Structure 1
Amino acid sequence: MISKTVSAYLPLLLSNRKEDPICAYIYDIYKLKKHVQHLRESLPSYCSLFYAVKANPDMKIIQALEGYIDGFDTASEGELVKILDHTDKPIIFGAPAKKDSELEYLSKGNLHCMNIESERDMHRLNRLGSVTGEKLPVLIRVNSTYQVARSSHKMTGVPTQFGIEEERIPTLLNELSDYPYLEIKGFHFHAMSNNLDARDHLEFIQSCLKKIVEWKAVFSLPSATTLNAGGGIGINYQNPEEPFDWEAFANGLQQMEALFTHEGIQLILELGRYMVGDCGYYVAEVMDVKRNHGEHFALIRGGTHHLRLPAAWKMSHPHTIYPVDIWFDEPLPRPEIREEHVTVSGELCTPNDVLIRKGYVERLKAGDLIVFSMAGAYGWTISHHDFLSHPHPEFHYLEEHLDKVDF
């Protein structure tokens, strides 16, 4: 579960350890580039690949991706500024509650398009367009009736704050003459998060295409040539040996090429978690090993204020124990356990600071490292960094392959 490049880097991390225990994020940039290159090359020509910046806005990540993707999906002014300062690639903006300052990026020509999440969005953007005298390119976000069964979070098909319910779309399209400064470029159907079923994802895209073709024909929408299926492709935290079947998914998209081309529709995929999740590792040193009420606990330097995902999802995060022979606290005794189940907790004063729940270990000692893999997405930036004011982790970026890393 640890890439060869990261495995080769851990001894260097240990050799540079001083008084403070190890706590760090490591991003395998070489692995990331190879992964994204494969994604891009496997997609058909009618499909554009965008990166959902919300998954990880680290600038090194963004720079690594730029040469392989077609554009960026943003959800805040902060993300917009970061991308605009670095690239001229197309940018899509989508958020359920937009500030006036964010809308203005569309009217100033900084965006490829912006999602409409509600009728109020339509009114506000039409008013903005009337001031500039320009039609503004928008995608209508649809809260569809389709549900993807194996996704962990459903954003449509159930009551949520996202998009306009599908039943309301025909009425809105009938009223487009009331919004002369909006140019409907297509529809956004982002419906789920962390879906693990490739076939279900393909069926979801087919259902979206069917809707767009129907609406284009009935309501005469010549400029509506974009189907933004969002992201939502997941990584399997519970069973990494059974990942989302990207090859089957890409092959399915290849088989749809004639249909998309015939209808003149361009498909946009906005990948986040699936694009960057597997390139990130959170490494924490075990501070103590102890027993309470018949159960074993290991306490690490760090915790959910650095990697909130396992606590938010009530799961044990994928991990590897990296044994460390040297004991930095000689001559004090070194606590350890063998062939036991252990709960791994952090340094916060809350029982919710749990990253591994009763996981089996053959051996675990104070001073060992726990390497949490699949930490490249929704890790550091969704975490409550400053709770209890502990120091932040270090950040390391491995740009080259194992044989080329400059240690």
Structure 2
Amino acid sequence: MNQYEDLSARFGTPLYVYDLDEVAAARKELLDALPEEFELFYALKANPHPEIVRALREPGDARSCRAEISSTGELAAALEAGFSGDEILYTGPGKTAGELSEAIGLGVRMFSAESETDVQHIGRTADAHGVVADCLLRVNSATASATTSIRMTGAPSQFGFESETLGEVMPRLRRISGVHLAGLHFFPLSNAKDEASLIAEFTHTIALAAQLQQELELPLRFVDIGGGFSVPYATPGRRASYPGLRDALAAALDEHFPAWREGTPRFACESGRYLVGASGALVAGVSNVKVSRGRKFVILDAGINTFGGMSGLGRLLPVTVELDDTRAVDRASLVGPLCTPGDMLGREIKVPELGPGDTVVVPNAGAYGPTASLLMFLGRPAPAEVMLRGGEVVSASRIEHRRTPLSGSAHG
């Protein structure tokens, strides 16, 4: 019996297994690829499990990550994992007054602002709390370098200020009370095709940041140049390596920001999937095998309610799972248990001979798993999640759904 079979026997299936040692290794690899002056934010949207978030915060044998969040739920997870408010960057285009009040009340002081009204909302809430919040103006660049990755800029979007019109609104932004315009935030792409694409995009971003600083007469204290680091999703393989990235970033910064090594400004990158994707595997049980008009369907107890297929921003269903199994001798479609033809995890992929009671293991499933899935669809229980460190179980848990009456209702 292998480790996954042992764990599925103990905790049932579907089951996510996360290796916290792998999380720490990914963090070290990425920080080693960046100049040591860089800070690194972990985007909790990839996997907000507090044990994973805590592992990325703990220094260990590498520098610690900061937290990038987009909701009060992620804020709660970050705080539970040990982050303080001043270690957190709050992002997103839809921050409500209630969310801003809760975040500022819990010590968050840095926000990525997506629009003039977003800055106004942040300032109004900061004033109400008697504090000043730092705003990073998120920039939607009119131009880009890489063209082979998932683009996040260059088109009309709810994300960010258009780089070509930012100058027009700056006088009004400067008059908003309760905020300090502290810097810029970029997120031009996700899942870069290769190191050359990533370097080209980062170099373009650094040059644009320098241009905007000069044109807008905006002294920059902090610049987040985004991410784009790549790791396979639900298919075999290793996360990408970036041996030339550190020197390329340093050269670009030396050219455009001569005092960057002294912290003027401070620079950061952010990553979600790269840091946690390779740490997890999804173990699913085979419920049934059916042949229909000559095609084989392996029906699993895990479907899009368990593994939703969000392999990065802008990328949704369908997922395309591949198994890392040397016994693969057959071809079949892997489908889930839901009453919809969209519950397809892998179409006509290589599989071993499978029957009811067997298990399959989906690799590189540590990011965009349960919390990016249709967890409540059809009311099936959420998958169990098991954390390992040194090969030993650290914790085992399951997200539970329950309906809670609201105050003011007949049952409140």
Partner of 1:29: 20
Give the aligned residue type for 2:6.
Answer: L
Counterpart secondary structure, 2:354: strand
Query: Does structure 1 conserve the Cα–Cα contact (< 8 Å) formed by 2:72 and 2:103?
Result: no
Counterpart secondary structure, 2:153: coil
Q: Distance in 2 between matches of 1:155 and 1:384?
A: 24
Partner of 1:335: none
Q: Distance in 2 between matches of 1:132 and 1:221?
A: 26
Match of 1:81 among 76, 80, 84: 76
Q: CA deviation at 1:197?
A: 2.4
Counterpart secondary structure, 2:230: coil
Partner of 1:316: 320
- What does 1:54-65 correspond to in 2, within 5 Å? 54-65=45-56
Q: Distance in 1 between matches of 2:170 and 2:122?
A: 16
Q: CA deviation at 1:241?
A: 4.4
Q: CA deviation at 1:25?
A: 0.7
Q: CA deviation at 1:34?
A: 1.9
Query: Does structure 2 conserve the Cα–Cα contact (< 8 Å) formed by 1:322 and 1:370?
Result: no
Q: CA deviation at 1:156?
A: 1.3
- What does 1:7-406 correspond to in 2, within 5 Å? 8-13=2-7, 15-16=9-10, 22-68=13-59, 69-85=64-80, 86-88=82-84, 90-105=87-102, 107-108=104-105, 110-131=107-128, 134-147=131-144, 148-152=146-150, 154-222=151-219, 224-237=220-233, 240-241=236-237, 243-256=239-252, 258-259=254-255, 260-262=257-259, 264-309=264-309, 312-321=316-325, 339-400=329-390, 402=391
Counterpart secondary structure, 2:299: strand
Gaps of 5+ in 2: 395-412
Q: Distance in 2 between matches of 1:363 and 1:207?
A: 50
Counterpart secondary structure, 2:93: coil
Q: Distance in 1 between matches of 2:96 and 2:140?
A: 21
Query: Does structure 2 conserve the Cα–Cα contact (< 8 Å) formed by 1:91 and 1:113?
Result: yes
Q: Distance in 2 between matches of 1:106 and 1:368?
A: 46
Q: Distance in 2 between matches of 1:67 and 1:23?
A: 29
Gaps of 5+ in 1: 1-6, 324-337
The TM-score normalised by the length of structure 1 is 0.84
Which range moved further: 362-371 or 233-242? 233-242
In structure 2, the CA distance between the partners of 1:287 and 1:121, relative to structure 1 (3 Å rule), is same
Query: Does structure 2 conserve the Cα–Cα contact (< 8 Å) formed by 1:237 and 1:318?
Result: no
Q: Structure 1 runs of 4+ off > 4 angstroms?
A: 105-109, 129-134, 238-243
Q: Which has the larger radius of gyration?
A: 1
Aligned residues: 380
In structure 2, the CA distance between the partners of 1:257 and 1:291, relative to structure 1 (3 Å rule), is same
The two structures, once aligned, show a CA RMSD in angstroms of: 2.8
Q: Distance in 2 between matches of 1:382 and 1:405?
A: 24
> Sequence identity of aligned pairs in percent?
28
Counterpart secondary structure, 1:363: coil
Counterpart secondary structure, 2:54: helix
Q: CA deviation at 1:134?
A: 4.3
Q: Distance in 1 between matches of 2:354 and 2:89?
A: 47
Once the two structures are superposed, residues 375-394 of structure 1 have per-residue CA deviations (whole angstroms, 9 ceiling, x without a partner) of: 11111101111211222222
Q: Distance in 1 between matches of 2:105 and 2:352?
A: 60
Query: Does structure 1 conserve the Cα–Cα contact (< 8 Å) formed by 2:308 and 2:319?
Result: no
In structure 2, the CA distance between the partners of 1:123 and 1:9, relative to structure 1 (3 Å rule), is same
The TM-score normalised by the length of structure 2 is 0.83
Q: Distance in 2 between matches of 1:238 and 1:59?
A: 22
Query: Does structure 1 conserve the Cα–Cα contact (< 8 Å) formed by 2:231 and 2:238?
Result: no
Q: Distance in 1 between matches of 2:174 and 2:393?
A: 59
Q: CA deviation at 1:347?
A: 0.7
